[in-house]
Amino acid sequence: MECVGAIDQGTQSTRFFLYDRNCQPLASAQVEFPQIYPRAGWVEQCPLAIWASVQEAVGTALEQALAQHGELVVKAVGITNQRETTIVWDRETGQPLHNAIVWLDNRTAPVCHALQKQLGSQDYFRPVTGLPISTYFSAYKLKWLLDNVPAVAQAAAEGRAAFGTVDSWLIWQLTGGAAGGLHATDVSNASRTNLMDLQALSWHQPTLELFGVAPRMLPQIRSNAEVYGTVKDGPLAGVPIAGCLGDQQAAMVGQRCAVHEAKNTYGTGCFMLLNTGQELVQSSHGLLSTLAFQLGADAAPHYALEGSIAIAGQGVSWLRDAVGFIGSAAESETVAASVPDTGGVYFVPAFGGLLAPWWQSDARGVIAGLTQYTTKAHIVRAMLEAVCFQTLDVLDAMQQDADCSELGAMFVDGGASQNNLLMQMQADILQVPVRRPAHLETTSLGAALAAGIGAGVWTAEEAFVDLKHNTGGTLFEPQITRTAAERRHAKWKLVVQRSFALAELTADLECDSEQRPEAGGKGSAGSGSAAAAPAGPEAA
């Protein structure tokens, strides 16, 4: 049996899927790995642990497939990954020069503030990169590493340092690592660094100079569907790596979003993309202009507007791990459904700031409307409702930017989309039908489709048109009035405003704890000290 593989390297775990020619999953495996929290607001991962999780997931899934289906022929493998997470390694030794700095890490806030002051606008880079100045993007993390980690600065000066997002790290490892590995990335991941010219699809030299990044540190930029190279060792040895996309772009391909169709992925965070076709739409409402996909070296690129929400499934993990309101992520649905509404409670989960469309890095979490009537069920329900309100904020901005007044349906995927109550609440608050496919792992499927296109298993037309009919799924229709939805959204926006500029409170508490003799020292940026992750699959 012929099949296509997909490595899905996420924020909290790695998965590997095998799909047949009809896009039906044959086997899969998932491996979690630890998160590292050296300080409040800092989030790191060990690059070697990421690579080990990929190897384990691939091996386990292939063993499972062999046992269930007999001998398989893997025609190609695709990669999709957590975006913006930044890794620098030594080309000669193959060793990481620091832990990976994860996409939601906010240590670069001073770098961003200084650049914004120097350049005079948060939107200075938008005309070229499509992105505002924000802790979110890789260039700021790379600059922090160059400025604060001597090993990185020295390796960069000596030409030994290789920079990449997680896709680059995995491609390099899969194709040989220090023994001749390929240093490459794809247009979608490159578009998230704040270093790529969106129109030219190449690194932008003036921006590189501004960040102090030498071009020799950077990977080669390739399309999303072409043969990059072949896997050198292991059970996939000899298989071509023929597709690569950032996770949210991969989900868009997996949903086969046509022009002016949108998808929303509910995972650790929540990410909505609207396909704007070959038109690069510059946002004036707090969204990102980004690459959607380029399905072949000679294919025209498609662009997207994106709204990124930092906390979705991770908020449910917080309810479970930090405050014990639920025993499992799945229990959030049962607990929230035990009350008919939130009892007037609103929850803004701005644990490390707010992303689109607010871009308030100094915002912090707020729970408002508490009374003696409030129970943990109301707070759990308010957390789920917060995901829906943030999604509406982003959709409103998209429709204004793209002049797209009507959306036929919102395509949804990701672990938290399994929560039926959440999906119904989402349809109610959006006042738009929500369509959930039968196979929720559209991120992995998108990587497989890109690899299949790159290796000639399917044409782009077959993947987007013919195979789209295999999706099936569930449709959630709005069940409340537009007036009721708008009334609740107006109250939500008032509470969001109250979350702004609260980061100073956290800083004051941190200073107080440092002055107490019993307060232990903090781990340094490169200490590798690990804490328990907001563990578990990215599901609600």
CATH of the domain at 386: 3.30.420.40
Residues 139 and 264 in one domain: no
Does some domain include residue 530?
Answer: no
Q: Which residues pair with 354 in a beta bridge?
A: 360
In this structure, the answer to whether residues 117 and 219 fall within a common structural domain is yes
What is the mean pLDDT of the segment spanning 229-248? 95
**Cα distances (Å, whole numbers) of residue 381 to 63, 339, 378:** 41, 8, 5
55 lies in some domain: yes
**Mean local confidence (pLDDT), 341-353:** 93
pLDDT band at residue 516 under the 50/70/90 scheme: low
- What is the pLDDT, as a whole number, of residue 354? 87
Terminus-to-terminus CA distance in the chain, angstroms?
Answer: 35
Provide the token pair at 539. 């599901």
Q: What is the pLDDT of residue 326?
A: 95
Look at residue 538 and tell me whether its pLDDT is greater than 80.
no
Does some domain include residue 95? yes
Cα(276)–Cα(289) distance, integer angstroms: 10
Question: Do 235 and 285 share a structural domain?
Answer: no
User: Which helix (H) or strand (E) segment is 142 a member of?
Assistant: helix 138-148
**Is residue 406's pLDDT more than 50?**
yes
pLDDT (mean) for 369-386:
96
Q: Is residue 179 part of a domain?
A: yes
pLDDT in tens, 277-287: 998 998 888 88
Q: What stretches of 20-62 adopt beta strand conformation (E)?
A: 25-32, 44-45
Lowest mean pLDDT among 192-206, 331-345, 450-464: 450-464
Query: Roughly what angle, to the nearest 10 degrees, separates helices 150-157 and 138-148?
Result: 100
Higher-scoring residue by pLDDT: 514, 4: 4
Do residues 254 and 443 make contact, with C-beta atoms less than 8 angstroms apart? Answer: yes
**Cα 329 from Cα 336, distance rounded (Å):** 12
pLDDT, tens digit, 9 for 90 and up, residues 79-107: 999 999 999 999 999 999 999 999 989 89
Pairing outcome for strands 73-81 and 240-246: parallel
> How far is residue 410's CA from residue 272's CA, in Å, rounded to a whole number?
9
Whether residue 159 is predicted with pLDDT greater than 90 in this model: the reply is yes
Whether 456 and 498 map to the same domain: the answer is no
Q: Is residue 464 part of a domain?
A: yes
54 and 197 inside one domain: yes
Could you tell me which residue, 528 or 398, shows the higher pLDDT? 398
Q: Is residue 492 part of a domain?
A: yes
Residues 312 and 325 in one domain: yes
pLDDT band at 267 (very low <50, low <70, confident <90, very high): confident
Q: How many domains are contained in the chain? A: 2
- Average pLDDT for 482-497: 95
What pLDDT is recorded for position 528? 36
- The reply to whether 242 and 289 lie within a common domain is no
Cβ–Cβ under 8 Å, residues 275 and 261: yes
Q: Cα separation of 208 and 311, whole Å?
A: 30
Q: State the chain's mean pLDDT as an integer.
A: 89
What's the pLDDT score for residue 523? 35
- Give the confidence band of 463 by pLDDT, cuts at 50, 70, 90: confident
Q: Which two tokens stand for residue 484?
A: 């009721």
Tell me whether residue 529 is in a domain: no
Q: Please check whether residues 432 and 401 belong to one and the same domain.
A: yes
pLDDT above 50 (res 456): yes
Same domain, yes or no, for 464 and 393?
no
342 and 429 assigned to the same domain: yes
- Residue-number span of the structural domain to which 80 is assigned: 2-255+439-470
Q: With bands split at pLDDT 50, 70 and 90, how would you rate the model's confidence at 467?
A: low
Q: Kindly state whether residues 19 and 142 are assigned to the same domain.
A: yes
What is the C-alpha to C-alpha distance for residues 414 and 499, in angstroms, rounded to an integer? 27
460 and 387 belong to one structural domain: no
pLDDT (mean) for 446-471? 82
Contact 172, 164 (CB under 8 A): yes
Answer whether residue 472 shows pLDDT above 70: no
Position 530 scores a pLDDT of: 33
Which whole number is the average pLDDT over 221-228? Answer: 96
Residue 475 forms part of a structural domain: no
